Amino acid sequence: ATAVGLGAFGLYSMWAAFQNSFYTWGPYLSPFYSLLLEFSWMPHWFSPAFLILGAPLGFRATCYYYRKAYYRAFFFSPPACSVGKGRSQGYNGERAFPFILQNLHRFFMYLAVLFIFILGYDAVLGMHFPLDSTGKVMSDAFHYAPTSHRWGFGVGSAVLILNVILLSCYTFGCHSLRHLIGGKTDCFSCIASGGPTPPASYKAFQKVSWLNERHMQFAWASLASVGLADIYVRGVAMGLWRDLYFLF
């Protein structure tokens, strides 16, 4: 099931990144294309998704939870807890190339936190509807200047907001972030049990720990929400379904 889930998401995200079309409608932008870096030197087949997908994919690929999942599901190394690896000769785990690169996770984490703010900004813009001169919502306001804007709320707005909430829960429950916030401190427990007033960082550590305990669930929920957000925006842009929205 893990292999099917991760494999399906990997194939879909590659397909979506290569499309280079139908990634925006009205105020909505697919999270696969967010930042929407477009430069004049880019040939028409070069999708803006190629410039940004490395950061979230690198973050997921080196995540401690996903490592466990794909080591088991794809490599059978090991297939489960207390089951032999199947080969013992020359196996160096994460101490040698290529798996030593998993240590880059903490750096991908910095980029992932940045993306939370970018996607949060997109979610706010997802309630700022671009209008043409006749007062209709424009389908492609990212490439053609709108006449005006009105605030509103649509199903797409809710999809983008839910996506950024789930991605935040996944990102802020990261093991590397937990270490950065307090995991490296030895005496939180003695402070918490009757010592001086716990520092503010202890509260942050507790919150990150709460998310960290649910890291697997948020990993899957956010994986699904990113894919569904792209499918939703793509479907509206292609005319497969209509977005329901109202303007204030």
CB of 146 or CB of 173, closer to ligand FES: 173
Checking 92-98 for CB contacts under 8 A at 24+ apart, the result is none
Q: Should residue 64 be labelled a site residue for ligand FES when binding is judged by CB under 6 A?
A: yes
Chosen residue from 175, 180, 207, 247 binding ligand FES by CB under 6 A: 175
CB of 72 or CB of 175, closer to ligand FES: 175
Q: Should residue 65 be labelled a site residue for ligand FES when binding is judged by CB under 6 A?
A: yes
Cα distances from 7 to residues 14, 128, 156, in angstroms, run 11, 35, 26
Specify the amino acid at residue 122.
D
Spell out the residues 6+ positions from residue 68 whose beta carbon is closer than 8 angstroms to its own: none
Chosen residue from 119, 174, 181, 226 binding ligand FES by CB under 6 A: 174
Give the number of residues in contact with ligand FES, rule: CB under 6 A: 9
Minimum distance of ligand FES from residue 108's CB (angstroms): 8
Minimum distance of ligand FES from residue 60's CB (angstroms): 7
CB of 104 or CB of 228, closer to ligand FES: 104
Run of H or E including 131: strand 128-131
CA distance 175 to 64: 7
CB of 23 or CB of 65, closer to ligand FES: 65
Q: Should residue 12 be labelled a site residue for ligand FES when binding is judged by CB under 6 A?
A: no
Q: Exposure pattern of 62-85 as b/e (b: 16+ CB <10 Å)?
A: bbbbbeebbbbbeeeeeeeeeeee
The 93-112 site mask, x for binding ligand FES (CB under 6 A), equals ------------x---x---
Q: Tokens at residue 199, please?
A: 């520092």
Annotate 198-219 with three-state secondary structure.
CCHHHHHHHHHHHHHHCHHHHH
The 200-229 site mask, x for binding ligand FES (CB under 6 A), equals ---------------x--------------
CA distance 214 to 159: 22
Spell out the residues 6+ positions from residue 133 whose beta carbon is closer than 8 angstroms to its own: 147
Identify which of 189, 220, 241, 204 has the alpha carbon closest to the alpha carbon of residue 28: 241
CB of 108 or CB of 232, closer to ligand FES: 108
Minimum distance of ligand FES from residue 120's CB (angstroms): 18
The 108-147 site mask, x for binding ligand FES (CB under 6 A), equals -x--------------------------------------
Residues of this chain that bind ligand FES (CB under 6 A): 63-65, 105, 109, 174-176, 215
